[in-house]
Chain A
Amino acid sequence: MPTTPIKAGIQAYLTGGGAIWGKPMMQGAVLAIEEINERGGILGRKIEYVVKPETSPEETVREYRTLVLDEKIDFYVGLISSSNTPAVGPVAEELQKLSFFVDGCTDFLFESVVPDPRFCFRITNIQSADGISAALGAIKLLNLMEKDKVRIAHIHPDYAYGRNAHAHMQITFEKVLGKDRVEVVYEAFPGLFKVTDFTPYITEIIASKPDILASSLWGADVVNFYKQALGYGLFDKMKFVSCIAHGASPAEAVKDFPDGHIAGVHANYFFLYPEWDKYPINKAFVENYYKRWGTYPDSPAEGAYVAVYMYKTAVEKAYEVLGKWPEVDDIIKMLEGMTIYGPAGPIHVRARKPNKHQCYKDGIVGLSKYDPRYGFSVLTNPVVIPISRITVPEGWEGTPDPKAGTLAYSWIRETWKEGVLPV
C-alpha cells in the first residue's frame, strides 16, 4: 500500500469573464481536499494539488498536458467552458488520465467527441437539461397549461450554450403546450459578453408583447440586461424565464432582481436546496464552504467538491474488493453505475451509452425572491425536475438532431407526447 501523497490537478478560470465560475470551482475542490486530508486522506494517503488556468481551448489543452505529463497527476478536476471539454476530452483519453469535468456541459462531448469514454467523466448535468428544466419549471410555476396561447420571446448569448438553451426551451414549450398554442414573437442572440447596451433589444422585446421572455443570458450580460430592463419596465410586462441567472455567483450581483420570475440554476445546485433541516449533507457543505471562503457555494463549487469525493469513494470501494490500492481501471469500474450523496442530493454516474460517464442529478427551478437574511435574490417555491424524465435514457438508440445538435432534442421530438407534462 503506497503512502506517498496523491496528486490532484485542478484546472479553472482564474482570470477573465469565466473567473466567476472558475474560482468557486477551484474552491470547492480545495475544500474537499482539505476536508479529506484532515480526516487522514484516502486510505492514509494525503492529497496534494496543483492548479492551472483554464483559458482558450488551445492553451487549456496545453496546460492539461503539462498537468498530466510534467506534473504527473493521479486525477484531474476541472473545466467550466463547453469549448474546452471537447478539446480536452480526447486528450484525456489519449493520455489515459482519470479526469472529472465539473462543467463544460455540452451534449456534444459524449454524443460526438468521446462517445465511448474510459477516463473522462462529467459531473454537471448535461446542457440540454438546462433549457428543458427551465421551460418545465416555467410551465408549472406560471400555470401555462391553463393558457389558450403563450407568446414567447427569446434572448440568448450567441454561442453553443445559448443556442442549446434556446433550442431546448423552445421544443419543450412546443411539445408540452402544443405547437399551435405557442407563438414565438421575437428572438435575438447578442454576442457573449460583447454587448453592454441592451436597450435596443429590450425595446424590441417589449414591443413584441410576449407573455414570457426565455433567456440563458448569464454573468455580466444578465446583470446588464436586467438592470436596464428595470428602467424600461420589462418585468411588469412579462415573465422572465432564465435557466441560469441564479446559478452563477456572485449571487450578490442579483440584489435587486425583481421578484416572481423564473429562476434557473443551470439545472444544478442552489445552496438552499435540498433544505438544510432535511438534508444535513448540504447544511454542512454550505457552512464549511462559507467558513472557508466567505461566500455561499454555487453549482461549480458543489460539482468540484463532489468530484473529489467521488474519486475517494471509488478508490475506497475498489480497495474493499481488491485489498490493495486500485489501478485506474478498477477505479473506473467502481465509478460506473455509482450513486453517491453530494450536497445537491444523490448523483448517479451512467455506465452505458448514450452519454456514458455523464452524471445525473435532479435539477431545480424556482421563483426569484429577495431574501433579507442574505441580502440578495434567492430561489423560492422550488420545483424539482426529476432528471430521468428530461434526459435521454440509457440504451436509447437515436441520432442527434442535425440543427440543434443533441440527442435530447431528437428524443423529445420523437418520444414526448404533445400536450402532456412529463413531470
Chain B
Amino acid sequence: MTAYEKVMAARDAKKLTAVDYIAHMFSDSFIELHGDRRFADDKAIVAGLAMLYDTPLTVIGIEKGRNTKERMERNFGQAQPEGYRKALRLMKQAEKFRRPVLCLVDTSGAYPGIGAEERGQGQAIAENLMEMMTLKTPILTILIGEGGSGGALALAVSDEVWMMENAVYSVISPEGCASILWKDSSKAPEAAEALKMTAQDLFNLGVVERIIRQPKAEDAAMFESLKMLIGRTLEKNLSLSPDELTEQRYQRFRKIGTAHLQP
C-alpha cells in the first residue's frame, strides 16, 4: 500500500471505531462517564471505566461515529476544548486512584471552529500535554485510525504509543500540506509520502513502539491477544514508582529526533 492508500484506509468509514474497540475488548464492563464539569459533554470523546480482566482502567477514545447520524452527533471525531478537558479530568481521576489509562485515538484533528477557538482550543490541548507528561499513572495510547496533529497528540503524551498497521499520524493532513506548500491539494499522495505518516515510518522514527495487526470485528482471538498485550504493558508500568514512570515518559519524548541534531 502507498502512504496515501493508508491514509484512505485510516479514514475508511467501515473500519472499527473507538466504541467498537471498547465493546470488543471490555464488553459490558464499560461504564461511560460524561462531561468536563466546566462547560459541556463533548460527544466526540467517549470516556469511562472498564475492567481489563480484573484491573480497572480509565478508557478515553476519540469517536468518529459509525453512520451518518452518529457522525453528526460525534462531530466526525473532531473534539472541542470540552472534550480534551473531559479527558484530562478523567486522567486526573485515574491518577488519584492509581488506575492506568488507555487512550484510543481516531481523529482528523481538533475542531477548527469559532466556538472551539473562543473556549480555548489551544489552551486545552497545551494543558493536556503538560499534565499528561507528569501524570503519575501509566498511560498507553493506541492510534486506531487517523492521528490528526495536536488533536491526536492531546491524548498521546503516553508511556508508549502503538499504531494499527493501517493507521496514520501526522502534523498536518496530506491535503492541507499539499495545498499550503504546492497550492495544489491533488498532490496529497506526494505529501503523504513526504510527511512519513504511516505506522512503519513512525516506528522507524521512534515515535511509536509497536505496530498492531488490525483486528476484525468477528475476530475475538485478535482482541484477546490485544488485551493481553495491553495488560502486560500497563502491568509493567504499574510496577514503576511514580517518579520512575514520569521520568521514563519525559525521556521518551526528550530523545525523539535528537539523533539528527547538529551540532
Asked whether A and B interact, the reply is: no
